[in-house]
Structure formats: structure tokens, C-alpha cells
Chains A and B, each alone.
Chain A
């Protein structure tokens, strides 16, 4: 049986892999994941640019105020100071409403805004006034500039985070989303391929020749193995391309702890592929024409959609809700939820192991059940076979 399953798997793999469609889609996808980081790295990086602020200084500002403001703003904002000493009140208001200046300072300590206060400007002005006041008072008590510098010598503050150095929320969310999307998309694509393959075998009657040599369950397992292997190869090509591109461009530093996530993503995707390709194969065996495929697919899309939507809430929000915990245990949704919760560090290793065990057990049981149903439904041609009818009649069928 193993040899026969391998033969079926090999045929499925080779036949699909050598189609122009598959090769073209794979090449385009790899090109996209490689090109995207490269293109992004070539775009101008504006992230280091300082915010631009223009402050007008009206008459009667303290002496040296503009210089102090400029010194404080250095490295925080790109500050432009406009002298408005000669402007009238109306002219100043016009400049504010036109947006020529973001705020106007009026001595001794008033800031004039057009509409909303800007806390950055407020902080800059406050600091500059404070410094002017300190300098005046230091001068009054006879402190020399050197004494004053010592008095205000800045204390170097060092940073220490209780989290790992490499913990980056953004990268984790991105990886979680990639995992979710992969676990959502691959079972759909390859599930439908499996279904079309089954329908092709039924409609051409080649299944009769096959089943004169092998058991229906062997045919089913071989088909699932072949198409899942193809999906994994395609996925590995994409991951390889993406990793190469990221390393080449240094665009994103992937946290080293996240690499541990890759095998788990692989297991989840494999489990999802196995469970959904089995379901899609069963659906294919219920119909005899490709045109009828859309009629029978809807029930399988429901758990996929539930898993995807719930997974998205976990990517960007709380990944430890009761709903997500429940969906982690359900084999039809866990392939999508598990990678997200792992990437977001919202699940422990024991729960991961148990969830994967439930998934593996479900795949095993589903393949056994499908093997029984498959024999009856595969050889039934003509009108679509209902689930109830398939189950009822398969009770007497030999698997």
C-alpha cells in the first residue's frame, strides 16, 4: 500500500508541477517576495527626518531667546524662527491662519495659536524661557559660565528593557500575519486542486482503472501526500526567496527567537493542508462535473473564514482571548490560530503540543472516515451525492 500511495503521490506531484500554470504562478510569487524587499530598500528612507516647525517671535522677546530656542530644538525638530517684530497684530494673525508659522511667541510668556496647541512647540518655548530665567538668575548671583555649566552638567541616562533585546512587536505582528495568511491560503488553493483532480478522475472514469488495482483510501492518501508535498515545496521556495531578499537588503532584522516559529508554522500549515485537502477530496467525490464544484465547496469555506477572521484579531489585538483559546483546540481553525498565537507569544509550549496532537488525531480520523466514504462516492456518477446518502450507503461499502 505504501508503494502505491507513493506512486499516486508522485504522479500528482509531477503532473501538477510540470503544468505551465503552476510554474508560472510559482515564479511570479517568488519574484514578488524577492522584489518587494529590494524595491522597498531602494525607496528613499524618510524615517530619520526631523519634524519641521516654524515659530514666529513677536517684539519684546528676551535677549538671546531665539538662540536658546534654536539650541534646545537641535536634534529634536528642524526649527525655523521668523522675526515678526515689525509685523502688526493683523499681519501676525494672517500668517498663523495661512500656516506660514505654527505658533507665535509674544513676550513675556504667551504663545498664540491658530487653532490647536502643539505640545512640542509648547515644550520648546517653555524650556527656552526656563533657560533664559536661569541664566538671568545665575548672572544675578554672580555664577561664572563654567560654574553654570557644571551646575547643569547633564546626567547620562542609560536604557534597560526587561524584554529580550530582539523583541519587536511590529515584526512579531508581521510574522503572525504571514503565518495566518499562509495557513489560510494554501489549504484553499491546494484543496481546490485536490478536488479538481478527483473530479477529473471521476469524469474520465480513470478512477475505475485505478480502483481495480488500489484501495480508495490508498488513492486518497497518495493524492493528499502528493499535493501537500507540492504545496510545501512552493512555500519553501517563497520562504527561501523572502529570507534571501531580507538578508540581502537588511531591511528588517528578524528576531532570532522567531526562527523557532518556522517549524511550528510548517506543522500547522501541513496539518491544515492535510485536513482541508481531505475534505476537498471528499467534496470532489460527491460530484461528477467541475461545474458543480462551487455548489459543494461552501461548507468548507466557513471554518476557514472563521479561522482567518479570528486570526486577524489576534495579529493586531489581544491574542489570548477565550474565543482564540477555543479555536486553538478545533482542528479546522487551529492551523490558522496557532501560528498567530505563537508569533504573538500568547500560548505556552504544552498548549501548542496538545493542539498539534488534536490536529494530527483529527487528520488521521478524517482520512479513515474519508476512505470509507470515498469508495462509494468515487464510483457514483451522474447527479451529486448528498452527504447523508453517502454516509448511509457507505456503511455497506468496503474501504
Chain B
């Protein structure tokens, strides 16, 4: 896939603190990428550098093959981690205002503001002041503000933080819609189960450096471990594969982390010799485990 956005070798220091120490990130057109990392890994600094809010010491940010310009940035929608809205503006007015700043004419901005207010579930609150909304609803406005100009690239910094399940569902469907429209979407989140469900591709950074990038399936496959799960039909035997790390399991089952190159057939045969097996699974670890392996 051709990269719409390509970040390579970003470095940024704040005094003695090296915030970015070689971040690489590629996002293709119509691609949804989860940008993952522990707190302080450099996710927000990277996202801010795409928009031009942070100047970097080294590295490049390229948009459709050329260094990104201010005009290119008009085609970016940004939802910051700490929500940024004018408390004393009305919902519709605020969305339309940002639309006009992004280059929409008055009429289009108004139409889009109305449409987006409805899309994020705030039709009845259009004339309310932002300060009168709950935190969750303010986040809905923030999303509408990021999308009102139909950006080619959508950058969402922790968009799911603090949202209720209904809002999470709405946001997920909006993100999917944007990808179907052809926009590129990159978002950060600590809710890895959500990321795994939503994004096909992820980039994981830690200590200001890209640790891994690829599809979720690839990253799981690349893991040096596998998860062996055996459901027993009778009592759980006092047995464990050699060299395996026990993991939490549901009732009537046992789980272990084993080496990826372990002989699964031999392990299952040994298990069968010690108890009655109902079912067996031998799979790569989930995204959360992969993440922990990479950033630990």
C-alpha cells in the first residue's frame, strides 16, 4: 500500500529528556492504524509533530511523498488527548467555526456542522454551550470538530478515554466510516482489546522509538511465545508442560505460555496421558501480551 503519511527517524529532546529517539510510522490511504505505546513513549509528541505543533530535532514527516506543508495540514483532522474547546461557544457554532478555519465556506461549514452534530448524537444539544455538556458529550463535539472538514488524515489521541460503551461504539463506527471514505486514520489508545477489534495495523513505540509495526496478526505471529489452552472434560490434572509459564484460565481449563517453537503435538500427547482433554488451542498471544513483550 502506498503511504499517505510517512514518518521516519523522528528525534526530539526536551533538555536532557529524549522524547523521540527514532520514531518511524507509515499510514496508507484508507488505512486505520493503532499507534500504541506506554505512557511517555512519545505518541503524543509524534502526533503533534505531524500537525506542526512540535518542531523536531531530526527526521522527516512526508505527506503523499513530499515534506508536509501547512496547506497539507489543512487536510488533517486532529483530536488532542486533552480536549480543547471554547467553553462559552455553542455546539453547532463551534463545529462550524473550526470548519471555516479549515477552509470551508460559511454555508458548507454550517451544513457539515449540522450533519456532524447529528452523527455524533448531539442534535438536540446544538444550541447548548460547550460548558453545559458532560465530558463524554464534549468528546463527541471534539470528534465532530476534527472531522467537519472531511480530512484526508485523521489523528486521534486517546479518543476512547472516558467514553461510555455507547460512545465507544459510535466512535468506532465513525472511524470505520472514515476509512471506507478513503481517509487515513491513526489513533492511540491503551484499550488494546478495542484496538485489536478495530485496527488491522498497529505500530508500537516505547522510549521514543518504534518497536514494531505491521498487522495485528503479523505481530502476534512474530511473538516468541504461544498460548496453550486445554479444556479438560474431567478434573484438572496436576500437570504442566515443561518450561511453561502458567496463565490465568477460565474454570475447567488450563493456560500456559510456551515457546513459539515448542512441539505442540508432544505437549498435547503428554497432556492426554495425564488427563481427559475436551479441547486444545495453541495460538499466538493476543495484542496485549505482544505489547507487554515489546515494551517491558
Interface, chain A (partner B; CB < 8 A): 3-4, 7-8, 11, 15, 19, 200-201, 204-215, 379, 396-398
Contacts and interface: CB of A to CB of B under 8 A. Distances in A.
A207 B84 CA distance: 7
Given A7-B101, A11-B97, A205-B80, A212 B86 contact: no
B88 A15 contact: yes
A8 B103 CA distance: 13
B98 A204 contact: no
Given A205-B83, A215-B70, 6 more contacts: A7-B100, A15-B89, A19-B88, A205-B80, A214-B101, A379-B54
A398 B101 CA distance: 20
Contact of B97 (A7, A208, A397): A7
Given A209-B145, A212-B51, A398-B55, A204 B100 contact: no
Contacts of B100: 3, 7
Contacts of A208: 48, 51, 53, 78, 80, 84
A201 B87 CA distance: 10
Contacts of B97: 7, 11
Contacts of B146: 209
13 contacts: A3-B100, A4-B101, A7-B100, A8-B101, A204-B86, A205-B80, A208-B80, A209-B80, A209-B145, A213-B74, A213-B103, A398-B52, A398-B55
Q: Which 4 pairs between the two chains have the least Cβ-Cβ distance?
A: A205-B84, A206-B84, A212-B78, A212-B51
A393 to B, nearest CB: 10
A397 B76 contact: no
Contacts of B102: 213
Nearest to A222: B101
B73 interface: yes
Given A4-B101, A7-B100, A11-B97, A212 B85 contact: no
B263 interface: no
Interface in B88-128: 88-89, 97-98, 100-103
Nearest to B87: A204
A208 to B, nearest CB: 5
B82 interface: yes
B68 to A, nearest CB: 12
B55 A209 contact: no
Interface of B: 48, 51-55, 70, 73-74, 76, 78, 80, 82-89, 97-98, 100-103, 145-146
A250 to B, nearest CB: 44
Contacts of A206: 84-86
A214 B89 CA distance: 19
Contact of B53 (A3, A204, A212): A212
Contacts of B101: 4, 7-8, 210, 213-214
A366 B257 CA distance: 65
Given A208-B80, A209-B80, A396 B53 contact: no
A207 B51 CA distance: 12
Contact of B82 (A15, A205, A211, A397): A205
Nearest to A208: B80
A8 B52 CA distance: 20
A270 to B, nearest CB: 26
A209 B82 contact: no
A210 B51 CA distance: 11
Nearest to A376: B55
Contact of B55 (A11, A19, A396): A396
A247 to B, nearest CB: 39
Contact of B86 (A15, A211, A396): A15
A392 to B, nearest CB: 13
Contact of B84 (A11, A19, A209, A397): A209
Given A7-B97, A379-B53, A397-B55, A209 B87 contact: no
A212 B55 contact: no
A294 to B, nearest CB: 22
Nearest to B80: A208
Contacts of B48: 208
A3 B168 CA distance: 36
Contacts of B52: 211-212, 398
A57 B258 CA distance: 132
A379 B45 CA distance: 12
Contacts of B145: 209
A373 to B, nearest CB: 14
Interface centre among A200, A213, A379 (most CB of B within 10 A): A213
A315 B83 CA distance: 51
Nearest to B77: A212
Contacts of A8: 101
Contacts of B88: 15, 19
Contacts of B103: 213
A236 to B, nearest CB: 25
A379 B14 CA distance: 14
A161 to B, nearest CB: 58
B103 to A, nearest CB: 8
A7 B80 CA distance: 22
A313 to B, nearest CB: 43
Contacts of B53: 208, 211-212, 379
Contacts of A11: 89, 97
A206 B89 CA distance: 12
A396 B55 CA distance: 8
A226 B1 CA distance: 46
Given A15-B88, A15-B89, A398-B55, A212 B82 contact: no
A201 B80 CA distance: 14
Contacts of A214: 101
Contacts of B74: 213
